[in-house]
Structure 1
Amino acid sequence: MRIAEGTQPKPPSPVEISIDTSKVVNTMRGGIGASWHAIEQPIPIGHGGSGWGAYPAAEDERAWQQIYRHASWLGLDWNRVEIEQRIYEPDRDHFTFDSPEMRILYRILDWNQKHNTDVFFQQMWIDTAWLAYPGSRNDPIARVHSAPRDLDAFANGLATLMDYLIRKRGYTCIKWLSITNEPGSNWSWWQGPSGAPLTIGAGLAAVRKALAQRGLNLPLSGPDSGMEVLRAAIKPEDMLLLGAYDFHDYSIKFDPDSNGYIENQVRAISSWTKPAHDEGKAVFFSEFGAIQSTAAPVQPRPDKPAPVLAASEFVIRNANAGVDGFNRWSFLNRGDLDGQWQYVDTWDTLHSRLLSDFTPHANLFFGIGLLSRFTAKYSDVLATDVSDGRMKEWQRVFCAAFRSPNGNVTLAVVNDAPVEFALKLSWAAAPPLGTFFRYRYGKPQYDRADVRVDPEPRFSPAPGTGWSDSLPPNSLTIYSTYELKNEDPGITAEVSAPAKN
């Protein structure tokens, strides 16, 4: 059939991206990483989420070397490490520093210490009968949601653990401490005797006092919840106890028609970053992810290409908004509890046992993973201007420019539209030194665990002049002065001291 003249769809206008190397939007006080947990005892489904299980015993050297290799490939450099009070203080003043779960914790911290990453240490919940409110002690569901009934005892236990890990075992990688997970909601793990959520201010004060008594200057972060429950989680006057603000977001939209929501979300976080930085405080997303549907828990939800791309865009847009660190939920989990969130498959869901060989989980590992692989912690985020790249009324192309402490530059460009855009990239100030290499996650890589990420040989721009290129539909493109072959480890740290905003 002949198409009438003039009815062909109009191609989108080319997008122009300009990076100003003389203007730093923010120097990140963290980086990009994922959640690791040392909790192996099962928690009632729906109440512990995917925050337990899927790790091998600490003595399984072959399994841990696989885990370490995948973590190194991803270049995870700002990692949330999660525990519960049960694993180190199952009874009042009875500390178990050599339990199987504690040995898993040491395995996790060993890798982070060796690779000079920053650890955001997280006590998820207490899960102990002795510390729970009386009506919750014998109910495993209520117990895991209970706030500590004795805040001084709670704080003494957590501070004793921090003293042991930092002073006695030398884990200087621990940079931040959060005392509980997602307070302020009706599913909160900080609930009072009636089951209603409590604010965490008194708990923060008790922990800060206990740390100070031990001479530990470890900043606390909070509220560790969604912005929508902020006032239910912490009172304004108690925010003075915090050294950083951190939030969770699982409402990331991957539907192109939801760009208006995303713009509002970015504006909301922007309203936090500048005043926080003026106070000398960091702002983190300590959990984030996108969910595609409300399918049954065993069905893959957040690992489909659309929500993976949306989560990558979330990092790019919020890095430009001044966020200091991003923790993706999660590095490992069983994938049979509340969706398949894991970067690496370690669990046989059919037979409920560990796999022998641990392999990348498609889309997540190679999609969001490219952001952590090619960025170093404490990077500068450079001012970036994106012109055009629109469909209808919405912007569809976004770029963040990261400059490492040693001067390497990585540009992350997402095209969330179903069409290709022509690209013209230029520098608004002195261009970076060195050659840029191109890496890509797009439709040819979707749903595959055998992807190789090597510099693309057909991309060879002249040094210093910018370049013309094309952005494939629904894709993430990385331009970087790091030349990494697929067998090379990713980038974690280039400096050992945190940068100042």
Structure 2
Amino acid sequence: MKIHIVICLVMFISATFGCQDTSMNPKNINNDLIIRSTPVSAIPFVGIGPQWGGYDNILRWTGSSTFNAKDWEVLEERVQFLRPGLVRIMASQGWNYYQNGVYSPAISEGVLFRILDFCQENGIQVMYGEWGEEALPNGEVDAAWLERSTDFLKYLLDTRGYTCLKYYNMCNEPAGDWSSIGGDYSLWQRTYEQLLSLMEAKGLNNRIEVIAPDVAIWNDTSLSDWITRPAAYFGDKIQAYDIHSYPTDDQVKGGSYRKVIAHYRSIVPDGKAMIMGELGFKYNPNSAHGITNVARIADDPFAGDDSNMMIYDAFYGVDVADAVVQNMLAGYDGVILWNMDDAMYSDNGDKLKRWGFWNIFGEEKFGSSADEAIRPWFYPMSLLCRYFPNGSTIYPVDVPEKKGLQAVSAKKDGRTTIALVNSHASSYTLHLKAEERLHLQGAKVYQYIAGDGASFEGAKDSKGFAIPNSVEDIDLHQDDAFTVQLPGRSVILITTMQ
């Protein structure tokens, strides 16, 4: 059965009558969405975008050190439509600039430089960093690696001229026992000291913002000192902060996730940006979706254990949108989605980390050209990436207490975006208002309504890219409301941005 969205403009006109019993006509405040005029953060929003890059197995999987012309065309066309404000690209010396004891940046010609060229040409900012290296004995700092790493960073900035590189991070998830830092804060601090000294000596400081600590948090605040200690010790040498999070559906929908990430945002020094450096959405392993995920991994010969097989289902796009909006409302200045493409990273040999919008090597290596197709969750993510752009200001939206309901707004250059997310099964009738008058002329209205499996309702063109469901002229104020029927498991986005 199709669910149709109905949007109409409703003028609320109040009048006062002498002895009228107002209890007979109570004001409907329970279904009001009110766009507030005070921004969430004074720091301009950096943007939303996916993890990109890697493809370290491309030669082994395809016999070539770069993509064929068709795959490059597909990738670039899709990312151009996605229009991310920020992407995260990670490198490592063995894959990108140092092999067999020889320093050689030319190793990166096949993939990394082509991706960075694309980002440069399309105005996409990059959070660039390194995965880290093997831990040395006795907690020693790998000074030789840092020397080469900063040489390569200098090469990217000076020789290649990449001004798209906005942030630099030295090591992925250092608080984890799986990282080269192994959770040793002292080693991490000493490594960052050497990194910062090398950057200053090579003229790199103030040319790219150093971001830290890049730790992966759980659903608690136990890693708070990985922010407070660097802030106290390094001061302004750390110019921005980031964490990673992989919440489960019950944490996001139950409210604990929002409280945890808000805490981490609150302890960042004033005036410093805070980025969600990886956002992945998981399902409680004991839930129906969690059990299904394990079964699907077992049935897929190419899926590694580190996979979320719900990427094939339309409801996943709504769930991730819920988490993204909560990050914006918690004051995060950018969000990196995990991730763009299954083919970027392997998990135990030739198995994939299935988390992407597609698998660009579906035909070449993994026996299915259909796996190269755009998956449903690309649709709502493309809307959030495009219409919460770099340089925008994020505004909170008051919402009634309804399960799964989130809303947020953004403004840039006199244009406005409003995103409404309902991750619950119930449909809601809501009245959208604004604290300060908004006139949205020619506003594009997009809808994404998850159905069974991969099916969803949402207008799209022949390439699978989102197009508006309608175009409306909308006036919003405290007495002027735009009534929205928000179906269960849906995302509605209204925008005057181009």
Provide TM-score, normalisation by structure 1.
0.76
Structure 2 residues not aligned, in runs of 5+: 1-27, 284-289, 298-302, 457-462
Decide whether the 8 Å contact of 2:120 with 2:163 is kept in 1: yes
Distance 1:358 1:72, change over 3 A: farther
**Counterpart Cα distance in 2 of 1:54 and 1:409:** 44
Aligned match of 1:224 in 208, 214, 226? 214
Distance 2:64 2:440 in 1: 44
CA pair 59-92 structure 1, distance change in 2 beyond 3 A: closer
The residue that corresponds to 1:398 in the other structure is 406
Contact map agreement 2:58 2:65 (CA 8 A) in 1: no
CA drift of 1:56 comes to 7.3
Displacement, 1:359? 4.3
Q: Which amino acid aligns with 1:460?
A: E
Contact 1:397-1:415 at 8 Å conserved across structures:
yes
Q: In structure 2, how many angstroms separate the alpha carbons of the residues matched to 1:432 and 1:122?
A: 42
Q: Does the Cα contact within 8 Å between 1:78 and 1:118 map onto a contact in 2? A: yes
CA contact (8 A) 1:39 1:82 kept: no
The answer as to whether partners of 1:55 and 1:332 remain within 8 angstroms in 2 is: no
Task: Name the structure 1 match of 2:175.
Answer: 184
Aligned: 1:18 with 2:34: yes
Amino acid at match of 1:160: D
Could you tell me whether the CA contact under 8 Å between 1:15 and 1:423 is conserved in 2?
Answer: yes
Gaps of 5+ in 1: 1-11, 44-51, 136-146, 484-501
Give the AA of the match of 1:66.
V
Q: How many residues align?
A: 430
Q: Shift in Å at residue 53 of structure 1?
A: 7.8
In the TM superposition, what are the counterparts of 1:340-489 in structure 2 within 5 Å? 340-348=354-362, 352=365, 359-388=372-401, 390=402, 395-404=403-412, 406-444=413-451, 447-448=454-455, 451-457=464-470, 460-464=472-476, 465-482=480-497
Distance 1:151 1:77 in 2: 33
State the distance in 2 between where 1:329 and 1:96 align.
29
What is residue 110 of structure 1 aligned with on the other side?
Answer: 117
Distance, in Å, in 2 between the alignment partners of 1:93 and 1:300 is 37
- The one of 249, 259, 267 equivalent to 1:267 is 259
- The 1-side partners of 2:315 and 2:62 are apart by 25
How far apart are 1:275 and its partner, in Å?
4.7
Aligned to 2:11: none
Q: Tell me which residue corresponds to 2:7.
A: none
Offset of residue 347 of structure 1: 2.0
Alignment equivalent of 2:106, drawn from 83, 87, 98: 98
Task: Give the whole-Å Cα distance in 2 for the aligned partners of 1:98 and 1:372.
Answer: 32
Code of the residue aligned with 2:211 in structure 1: it is: S
Paired residue type of 2:466? V
Q: Which stretch of the first structure deviates more once superposed, 470-479 or 376-385?
A: 376-385
Change (3 A) 1:371 1:480: same
C-alpha spacing 1:386/1:467, structure 2 compared with 1 (3 Å): same
> After superposition, what is the alpha-carbon deviation per residue over 1:153-210, rounded to whole angstroms, capped at 9, x for unaligned?
2221111111111111110000101111111222223349xxx887411111111111
Q: Give the counterpart of 1:315 among 317, 324, 327.
A: 324
Q: Distance in 1 between matches of 2:113 and 2:155?
A: 12
Shift of 1:354: 8.8
Amino acid at match of 2:210: L
The answer as to whether partners of 1:66 and 1:358 remain within 8 angstroms in 2 is: no
CA contact (8 A) 1:120 1:176 kept: yes
Local SS of the residue matching 2:379? coil
Q: Secondary structure at the match of 2:156?
A: helix
- The 8 Å contact of residues 179 and 204 in structure 1, kept in 2 or not, is answered as yes
1:249 to partner: Cα distance: 0.8
Equivalent in the alignment of 2:242: 246
**Between 232-241 and 202-211, the greater mean CA deviation after superposition:** 232-241
Could you tell me which residue of structure 2 aligns to residue 65 of structure 1? Answer: 73
Sort the Cα spacing of 1:23 and 1:153 in 2 relative to 1 into closer, same or farther, 3 A: same
Counterpart amino acid of 2:472?
Answer: S
**Partner-residue secondary structure (3-state), 2:131:** strand
Residue 194 of structure 2 aligns with an amino acid whose one-letter code is A
Structure 2 match to 1:209: 197
Instruction: Say if 1:308 and 1:455 are closer, same or farther in 2 by CA, change over 3 A.
Output: closer
C-alpha distance after superposition, 1:292-334 (max 9, x if no partner): 3251335752413344322211111120111011001111223
Percent identical pairs in the alignment equals: 20
Cα contact 2:85–2:124 (8 A) shared by 1 = yes
C-alpha separation in 2, matches of 1:84 and 1:354:
29
TM-score (norm 2): 0.77
> Secondary structure of the equivalent of 1:160?
helix
Structure 2 distance, partners of 1:252, 1:37, is 26
Give the distance between the partners of 2:227 and 2:63, measured in 1 at CA. 33
**SS of structure 2 residue aligned to 1:153:** helix
**Counterpart of 1:438 in 2: which secondary structure?**
strand
